[in-house]
Chains A and B, each alone.
Chain A
């Protein structure tokens, strides 16, 4: 624990939100939230239903424009650009309800996830230019790497509809991971998965962090968050009510009141 906290000191800030606010017709879904995510850590965002966790993700990934406030990624404001541009800058996300290209195969899903790093356009496609050939090969290599990293190496040509729930969650993470992002936002990566399979996903998330990709995730399963996260941010009614290591958050009175129901589980 000591070493990680010391490491954290020297790590640079990857993403920073300043007084981030989102109003939906009078409802403050996210209310003046300040937060930062350091390079190479796993940050968990927790909070009761309707606390504004997913809205916060939507603000960071550009799906929503903030009412006020700023999001800085590597020092650059990203709150006024489109989701695809944010993905290009190196922030990728998954969705709460597993979003996949569900008519296609595992392979195709990963190729599409990699599209942001390939520049093949119409002319390259029509005339099979050198660029398109090279990108095809590079893309194939990266797709194979990612498939084995997420544990779907043997199911490359399977159609998404034939995959188990857990494999679909892995693939959703794979689609985000394949383009080598700097930050990956996981919206309930283990939602709807049984405890036995959750362990595998936790392992995957840890391996993602160890491979050098910063992870920010929304989670409901407290035990999982306590085991895995380097730092936890707690939201309630759109406001940040606590932040810190799992131990600190666990012993925070406000958090216990708002969320844990009076008792810490860790």
Chain B
């Protein structure tokens, strides 16, 4: 059974192994930081994928919920003096709960109306973050947020999460946790309900799926994970300002998701790493890189409607067919 598992998943295991030993290559602080942010954005994009990719509801408040998670952790640790881990859990729950309250009215709308109403909420979060100076620090934001509370592990000793290596393992652990949770959800009967709603909401309702309840569940879970991503972001970044909660963040995740591959588990990770790394790599081009980027997006949407992952799946299917045909051809040749 283990051998079968390895044979089937060798590629993913290889990637995991590489991710685990990554700090051994002693990358520069700059590269380390990019990778850490990519992990956080991967979590955000993965959660976006649950509501948008699997359930088919284009929530454009995702950046807002990322901000809610970030501000919640910042305020609880900075002003409330709370333990970071407790604050992170509470922030995720707060984000999920606000998602529940926002979902109640907005999920009664469909398609573009849902997109617009959630976009409005995202903008409201941004404005509140900027205007409520006494609470959120206004547009200058909050600074000197304490780093994650050190924890003591057996064998390893105390970890204080101030070195890039420790921060890297921290976000990697949360990324793996998110991937695990998404994998469990998506490949379950519960996941089938979400996919049914994306595919044909009327039919889903007719076959007995409570579409509203399931959409709300997907929205709440999605916002739990993006709130968590926001909280982690603050733990690493140690500052937060309204741009963190801005709707442009939502569109970043949307781009990561579209390029990586909607409704796949690897897609959001590929998208977040690939696109973010590419943006950093082309830093010298300044704002012109956005032009290049727009062109890339157009090409992907036209030629790879299901993103890089969709493209890879199609390619693999074609290769399989090609080998099968060759095999059949060879057998025919032998039989004469």
User: What residues make up the interface of A, taking CB atoms closer than 8 Å to B?
Assistant: 61, 63, 82-84, 87-88, 92-93, 95, 99-104, 108, 111-113, 115-116, 118, 120-122, 124-128, 132, 135-136, 139, 175-176, 179
Task: For the complex, count residues of B whose C-beta is within 8 A of A.
Answer: 25
A124→B192 contact, CB < 8 A:
no
In contact, A102 and B181 (Cβ under 8 angstroms): no
- Neighbouring B residues of A116 by C-beta, 8 Å: 207-209
B86 an interface residue at 8 Å Cβ cutoff?
Answer: no
- The A-contacting residues of B in range 193-207, CB under 8 angstroms, are 193, 195-196, 199-200, 202-207
Q: Which of A84, A121, A127 contacts B209 (CB 8 A)?
A: A84
A83, B184: Cβ atoms closer than 8 Å: no
Tell whether, in the assembled complex, residue A87 and residue B190 are in contact, meaning their CB atoms are under 8 Å apart.
no
Using CB atoms, name the residue of chain B closest to A87: B208
**Which B residue sits closest to A185, measured CB to CB?**
B206
Q: How far is the CA of A61 from the CA of B202 in the complex (A)?
A: 12
Q: Is residue B217 contacting chain A, with contact meaning CB distance below 8 A?
A: yes
Q: What's the minimum C-beta distance from B288 to chain A, rounded to whole angstroms? A: 38
Main secondary structure of the interface of B (DSSP, over half): helix
Contact B208 A84 (CB under 8 A): yes
B204 contacts across to A, CB distance below 8 A? 101, 112
Interchain Cβ contacts under 8 Å between A and B, 21 examples:
A63-B202, A84-B210, A87-B206, A95-B203, A101-B195, A102-B199, A111-B192, A112-B192, A112-B204, A112-B207, A113-B207, A115-B189, A115-B207, A115-B208, A116-B208, A120-B189, A122-B185, A125-B188, A132-B188, A132-B189, A139-B189
For the complex of A and B, 9 pairs with smallest distance between CB atoms: A116-B208, A87-B208, A125-B188, A120-B189, A125-B190, A101-B199, A112-B196, A99-B203, A83-B205
**Residue among B191, B195, B205, B206 facing the most chain A CB atoms (10 A cut-off):** B206
With A and B bound together, what is the CA distance between A124 and B181 in angstroms? 12
Q: How far is the CA of A100 from the CA of B211 in the complex (A)?
A: 16
Per the bound structure, the CA–CA distance linking A250 and B307 in Å amounts to 58
Give the distance in Å from the alpha carbon of A145 to the alpha carbon of B209 in the complex: 22
A104–B195 CB distance below 8 A: yes
Q: Which of A61, A83, A99, A108 contacts B195 (CB 8 A)?
A: A108
Asked whether any CB of chain A lies closer than 8 Å to the CB of B221, the reply is yes
A118–B209 CB distance below 8 A: no
State the CA gap A47–B29 with chains docked (Å).
Answer: 76
- Residue pair B199, A115 in contact (C-beta under 8 Å): no
CA distance A108 to B185 in the complex (A): 15
Task: State the CA gap A100–B203 with chains docked (Å).
Answer: 7
A104, B191: Cα distance in complex, Å: 13
Nearest B residue to A119, CB-CB: B189
A116 to B184, CA, bound (A): 20
B185 pairs with A103, CB closer than 8 A: no
CB neighbours (8 Å) of A100 from chain B are 200, 203
Query: Does A99 contact B192, Cβ atoms closer than 8 Å?
Result: no
A82 and B211 CA atoms in complex are apart in Å by 11
Q: In the docked arrangement, what's the CA distance between A111 and B204, Å? A: 12
Nearest chain-B residue to A179 (Cβ)?
Answer: B208
Contact with A along B175-189 (1 / 0, CB 8 A): 000000100110011
**Known interface pairs A102-B199, A115-B189; A122-B217 also in contact (CB < 8 Å):** yes
Q: A101-B199, A128-B184 in contact; A135/B206 too (CB < 8 A)?
A: no
